[in-house]
Amino acid sequence: MSTQDKPLDADDLIELAARAAQLPAADAEWVGRLLQELLRARTHEAELLAGQAGFARATGHDNDELDDHLVQVALDTAEWLRTLWNVGYMGAGSFRSQPRSSFPAIDLEDVRKSSLFARIRQGKHVLPFPPPTRNGLPWHALLENSEQTHAVSVEIIRDEMGLPLAAIIEGCAEWNIITELAENRECLVQHQGKGPTYRLRLADEGRAELRREAPTATRRICLEGRSGFRSYTLEWPQADGNAQFVALRAATWERAEAEAEHWLASTHPELYGQIRFERCED
């Protein structure tokens, strides 16, 4: 490093100030002002460095160390981006597509409004399929709240014989009609053939009530204890009459039920939300 590349220390600046006083009056004025500005900048830099060092001492973290909160945000962001790539849906402006070769642009609105990102930040499992949308935004609450009745706008699409083909609910045109329970009054619907089924009660002028149907089947989650260790296993019947036993990574019943729901969504999405889990102890 040459002498000119090295930063000036305090002695250098004082020497330059003394030499500036020997310049002609017209030059000494502007050179002196420039040196004063340099001294102010150097003082401000020293104050900033001292403040950073004090913060590091007070928090016990070095400047190049991330705290636990930032680490978790980084992990959650990675999970969010992985899901966008594999599943293909996001918060602000929901879209679906097959895994792509170039990642879509993400702006500030996407980060702030993404219900998927919010779900991950809350520690919840990511659904392996896109949820229904409401006015273009993912409608996770509809999947998770089994007790609430939702007032919705609806349009039933029928064929030339008047038979229902599909439903457009809250602007989402991907609802399948499973069966019409009462003509022009009530039907069972399901989003894209995945997830819970819902009872849609039609009113007047394109309005309706949407309520999630109760589970229609029961599966057992068995609690086993051996040598002081406890584990949960989901018992799942196979088509050949045998049973599949799925080990659940859980230490509590609540976590075991959540893990079973996630396994069901990943392996049998058409049954997700339609199974009730029963606790069984050996």
Please report, in tens digits, the pLDDT of each residue of the chain (282 residues total).
Answer: 455 556 666 667 667 777 777 778 777 777 777 777 777 777 777 777 776 666 555 555 554 555 667 776 777 787 777 777 776 654 334 444 555 556 666 777 777 777 778 777 777 777 888 889 998 888 888 987 778 899 999 999 998 888 999 999 999 999 999 999 998 899 999 999 999 999 999 988 889 999 999 999 999 999 987 655 678 999 999 989 899 999 998 888 888 898 899 899 999 999 999 999 999 886
Tokens matching residue 248 = 């659940």
SS3 177: strand
Residue 49 lies in a domain: yes
pLDDT score for 3: 58
Does 77 lie in the same domain as 124?
A: yes
pLDDT score for 93: 41
Residue 125 lies in a domain: yes
Does 186 lie in the same domain as 154?
A: yes
Does 90 lie in the same domain as 52?
A: no
Does 203 lie in the same domain as 222?
A: no
**Whole-angstrom Cα distance, residue 224 to residue 247?**
11
Q: How many Cβ atoms from other residues are within 10 Å of residue 105's Cβ? A: 6
Residue 139 lies in a domain: no
pLDDT score for 94: 43
The residue among 161, 195, 212 that closes a domain is: 212
Residue 140 lies in a domain: no
Total structural domains within the chain: 4
Does 87 lie in the same domain as 108?
A: yes
The helix-helix angle for 10-20 and 25-59 (nearest 10°) equals 160
Tokens matching residue 89 = 């849906």
Contact 19, 11 (CB under 8 A): no
pLDDT score for 75: 73
Residue 118 lies in a domain: yes
In the numeric block, the tokens 């100030």 are attached to 17
Residue 171 lies in a domain: yes
The residue among 190, 212, 234 that closes a domain is: 212
Does 120 lie in the same domain as 76?
A: yes
Residue 138 lies in a domain: no
Residue 252 lies in a domain: yes
pLDDT score for 92: 35
List the domain range (segments joined by +) for residue 156. Answer: 147-212
**Whole-angstrom Cα distance, residue 234 to residue 2?**
71
The residue among 159, 180, 212 that closes a domain is: 212
